[in-house]
Amino acid sequence: MSKTDWRIGIAGLGTVGAGLLEFLAEKPGFSPTGGQAVVTGVSARSRTRPRPFDIAGLPWFDDPVELAKTPDNDIFVELIGGSDGPAKAAVEAALNAGKPVVTANKALLAHHGAELARLAETKGVPLLFEAAVMGGVPAVKIMREGLVGDDIRSVAGILNGTCNYILTEMEATGRAFADVLADAQRLGYAEADPTMDVGGFDAAHKITLLAALAFGCAPNFAAAEIEGIDQIDLMDIRLAKDLGYRVKLVASAERSADGVLVRVHPSLAPLDHPLAQAGGALNALFIEGQRIGRIFVQGPGAGAGPTAAAVAADIADVMTRSVRPVFQRPAADLKPFTPVDPSKSMGRAYLRFMVKDEPGVIAAVSETLAEAGVSIESFLQKPVEKADGVPIVLTTHAVAESVLMAAIERIANLSSVLARPRLLRIARI
């Protein structure tokens, strides 16, 4: 091969790996450098598993670490997944061998990004992960390259297509969470064990990486506040819509003088807001900078084609021999951000109380909120069929979370309240 040609080793032959093999077979000369990208080794859990493509002509490695170390490839592509185990071992082996690494593994980087960045920069090779966040939407390149001339204040959006699909279908069909999740699993939108998605952890991995890029810090997944959509009730989707909102799983990272607040929560977005209008499996992201103001990007967050295209874009960057810090500044200078105490965060909220249908209940709830220092913005009382009790729904003006939580505890103890009050934050976007 000429020096403009690159030999690619691919570990992981699932949806994305299949898409990448198909792409490279069709367009090996896709890179602007004019060189060829040629697959010279593959690895996966099973060699005999039925696949929609033929791997018989490709060198097979039972151990991805051996594929990472072999001198027969120049770039190692890790599509195995998982924060530890074979994925981590293979990436470390490739970097130690002085090989560029392209990965789609957000969990690996959210947990071990700082140490892997130090290893990559010590060896003088790139560690690229465009496909780890928002699939085919170039969110990582926007943050790492396009916005280096700005000071980013916040990033927030919809980063998990599975959750977005489930919430969209619940609203559209009127079916409960469990029913829609089962359909999502049958259609391949959700895994057999959906915890990583519906528990909010996948979105938390992604916003952890975006925060590191936005603020030039080490990924700090442990500091993320995480709540998934598995407790979302169809009642809240309907009542929120009556108030002019739509429920979305929103991941956000915001920098202030006190530090950085990273969180994933089901949140309410106004019906005319771009996040509320991003339906199905779409991803969407707002970025706010000191100089650019706010920008918005939206697109497919998963799938063979979009994600493989993101991996290919990173391969092309390696082929141009471009090397830059993994997380916006030299790894030796990376430090975890200072987490902000969420209880001090100010924001608006949606509250639902299931109460007995008796006189004085509304007054008791209102007085308790007022005494705690929570100001009501809007109010709705609407009977719901087959519900135990009557829902009282309201939205608040901006209030510190510590104040709001104290008020909720007091209301939960009222004799007229039948169930734990439901809190949903209103997105600050």
CA 315 – CA 27 distance, rounded (Å): 13
Q: Which residues contact 360 (CB under 8 A, 6 or more apart)?
A: 416
CA 213 – CA 224 distance, rounded (Å): 15
Q: Is 168 helix (H, G, I), strand (E, B) or coil?
A: helix
> Do the Cβ atoms of 89 and 23 come closer than 8 Å?
no
CB atoms within 10 A of CB 400: 15
Report in angstroms the alpha-carbon separations of 414 from 12, 364, 368. Answer: 54, 8, 9
For the chain, what is the largest distance between any 2 Cα atoms, rounded to a whole number of angstroms?
84
> Do the Cβ atoms of 191 and 185 come closer than 8 Å?
yes
What is the distance, to the nearest Å, from the Cα of residue 192 to the centroid of all Cα atoms in its chain? 19
The closest of 31, 49, 47, 28 to 39, measured between CA atoms, is: 28
Q: Is position 99 annotated as part of the catalytic site? A: no
Q: Which residues contact 420 (CB under 8 A, 6 or more apart)?
A: 412
Options 88, 206, 248, 356, the catalytic residue:
206
CA 252 – CA 355 distance, rounded (Å): 33
> Do the Cβ atoms of 26 and 38 come closer than 8 Å?
no
Q: What is the DSSP letter of 67?
A: H
Length of the chain equals 429
Element (H, E) at 256: strand 245-256
Tokens of 37: 């990208």
Residues tagged active-site: 206
